[in-house]
Amino acid sequence: MRIGIDARPLSLQAAGVPRVVSSLVGALEKIDPENFYYLYSNHKFDLPFENPHWHKRIGVRHASLPSVLWFCTEGRGAILSDDLDLFWSAEYLPPFSLPSKIATVLTVHDLESHLYPETMSWKTYWAHRLLVWPSVRQANRVVSVSESTARDLQRILKVPRPRIEVIHHGIASIYKPHDHERAAQYVAQKYGVSKDYALAVGTVQPRKNLPTLVEAIKLLRTSPLSSLHLLVAGARGWKNTPLDESIRRLGLTNDDIRFLGVVPEEDLPMLYSGSWAFVFPSLYEGFGLPLVEAMACGVPVIASNASSVPEVVGDAALLVAPTRPEAFAEAILRVRSDPELRRSMSEKGLRRAACFSWDKAAGQLLECMRRVVVEHGVRGGQGTD
């Protein structure tokens, strides 16, 4: 097969969709020596290939165009010249951007724009609302990253279940347990923080529901865990004024809650391993990759019982309602004060994390693409441009 890949996310910050695409591309190169791959982007990206079957198509002539316009013009021309059998994207495709003779597979991560539009920036909201339905409608197969998102696709966008394939995300090999004390000491020295901390990971934005954790930390100030701090690793996103106001209103300081910003990925296993608990109060997730990273590091997970989170963690986490800070405070107190509970949760988390791998996800994606090409050839022939 001649497979095209939307590589535009690879030039962006390595979090979220860019991390997913990078991980899947790396795994596909490793497991598939036969097919030919062509990666299209309007910006350069740092991803070397050893396999001669892999090719970059970097369109810099019109790179200053908005990404969608570039895809419909220079990108489309490059795609047509490579005579593809199939095109896979983990971003939404501009409508009518590809001829019908090319089969398409589209990965949908979530439907935040339909379910929690108030948590998004206006620019991202409108881009998603204008592109999601045409993209889903034109795709031969829609890959959902969880059964939860698959149900949302059926319920909200009326996508027939046979057109949806669920493929869970994987986990990088660097995520593994480190000695708790040594990891906490490393974090304390490198970032100038307390060794006694709980950890949250993710872009700081409304959907992550961090005000719940702020209130939980305030409640813990009158408990035996009065010295526990909260570290937040992740880029500052959007609409964070209510979060900042909540911190000031409750009288908390930078010593209580420290925002670390984007940290090197190689530091994340140490951050997870040095924490007493990983806390994840998100209102809505398509998957929730940090949950698996934390479990793979043997850290007890305390998370919301919303959307895909129960599906991802199985029986390995304490689940509470995302709007109950007192429940998060109580769960953190339980985990911090009960060594046997921590041990049990760590063991369950390691077993659960072992169910997820990028090689497995890439293998499932490859099989999906093979089936789609066969079905497309049988049903549609060469189609029309």
Confidence of residue 98 (pLDDT cuts 50, 70, 90): confident
| Closest-CA residue to 276 (of 342, 178, 214, 210) | 342
Confidence (pLDDT) at 260 = 97
DSSP 8-state secondary structure symbol assigned to residue 94:
P
pLDDT of residue 381 exceeding 50: no
| Mean pLDDT of all residues in 273-287 | 97
- pLDDT for 145 equals 98
Per-residue pLDDT tens over the stretch 80-93: 999 999 999 998 87
- As a whole number of angstroms, the distance between CA 356 and CA 362 comes to 11
Q: Kindly state the tokens that stand for 374.
A: 């066969």
Lowest mean pLDDT of 53-62, 100-109, 189-198, name the range.
53-62
Q: What is the mean pLDDT of residues 147-160?
A: 97
Residue 95 has pLDDT above 70, yes or no: no
Mean pLDDT of 274-278: 98
pTM (predicted TM-score): 0.93
8 A C-beta contact, residue 177 and residue 273:
yes
What is the percent of the chain with per-residue pLDDT over 70, rounded to a whole number?
Answer: 96
Instruction: Supply the DSSP symbol for 236.
Output: B
Q: Higher confidence at residue 91 or residue 192? A: 192
Distances (CA, A) of 95 to 68, 99, 157: 10, 11, 16
pLDDT tens digits along 217-258 = 999 998 887 889 999 999 998 899 999 999 999 999 988 999
Predicted pLDDT at 123: 85
Indicate whether 60 pLDDT > 80: no
pLDDT for residue 384 is more than 70:
no
At 151, the amino acid letter reads R
- pLDDT above 70 (res 385): no
pLDDT in tens, 295-339: 999 999 999 999 999 999 999 999 999 999 999 999 999 999 999
* Ordered domains of the chain (ranges, CATH): 2-170+358-380 (3.40.50.2000), 180-353 (3.40.50.2000)
Q: What is the pLDDT of residues 122-136, one digit of tens each?
A: 888 888 888 888 899
Q: Which long-range contacts (CB under 8 A, 24 or more apart) does 331-335 make?
A: 331/277, 331/302, 332/198, 332/216, 332/220, 332/225, 332/228, 332/276, 332/277, 332/279, 332/302, 333/220, 333/223, 333/224, 333/225, 335/276, 335/277, 335/300, 335/302
Q: Which amino acid is at 263?
A: V
- pLDDT at position 62: 66
> Across 244-298, where does the E strand assignment appear?
257-261, 278-280
Provide the token pair at 84: 């593809």
- Average pLDDT of every residue of the chain: 92
CA angle 141, 144, 149 (to 5 degrees): 130
Tokens of 210: 């961090």
Measured distance CA(164)–CA(144) in Å, rounded: 7
Residue 209, pLDDT > 90, answer: yes
Which residues sit opposite 278 in a β-bridge? 199, 301
Q: When comparing pLDDT for 116 and 377, which is higher? A: 116
Count of CB atoms situated within 10 Å of the CB of 312: 28
Neighbours of 315 (CB within 10 A): 11
Per the CB < 8 A criterion, the answer to whether 271 and 236 are in contact is: no
User: What is the reported pLDDT for 91?
Assistant: 86
Most confidently predicted of 95-104, 246-255, 309-318, 375-384: 309-318
The set of residues, in sequence order, having a beta carbon less than 8 Å from that of 52 and lying 6+ positions away, is none
Distance (Å) of CA 180 to CA 5, 197, 264, 294, 345: 40, 11, 19, 13, 15
Q: What integer is the mean pLDDT of 91-109?
A: 85
Residue with tokens 């199985």: 314
CB 38 within 8 A of CB 57: yes
